[in-house]
Structure 1
Amino acid sequence: MPKPWLTLLLPPCPKLSLNCWLVGNDPHNIFPVKIQSSVSVGTSKEVIKEKKPEINCAANLISIQT
C-alpha cells in the first residue's frame, strides 16, 4: 500500500532573525540581527557590522557559521 504524502505550501518568510555570537566573547552575549530572507551573505555581514560597529575587522572578513 503506498504511503500518503504530505505537501505543505508555506509563504516565503520575508525576514529572518539571526542570533549572532562573537567567538571569544561570553556565550551570553548573543545579539539578534534581522535581515531580509533574500539578502546575500555579504549583505548579512554588513548588517552584522552595522549592529556591532565595535567588531574590529572589515565586514567582508566576518565569518558566518551555521
Structure 2
Amino acid sequence: MTDRDAWIQARLTAAMNAKNGNIHSFPPELIDEIQRFLADKLKFPCKQSELDTISERLILLNRGKL
C-alpha cells in the first residue's frame, strides 16, 4: 500500500466511522466514487462549479439514483 492509498483509506475510514450508528450505511458505489475522487480530482484545487458537480454526483450515488 502506498502513502497515497493509506491516506485515502484513513480518510474514508474516518468518514464512515463518523456516521451516526447504523442509521445510514453507504452503498459500495458511493465508497468507490469517494475513493476515486480522493485519489484524483480532490487532490488538486477545484473550481466551485467542479466541487458542486462532485457533490451532486456523490449525493445521487448515496441515494441510489445513479
Q: Tell me the TM-score normalized by structure 1.
A: 0.27
- Does 1 or 2 have the higher relative contact order (CA < 8 Å, sep 6+)? 2
The structure with more radius of gyration: 1
- Structure number with the higher helix fraction is 2
**TM-score normalized by structure 2?**
0.27
Identify, as 1 or 2, the structure richer in strand. 1
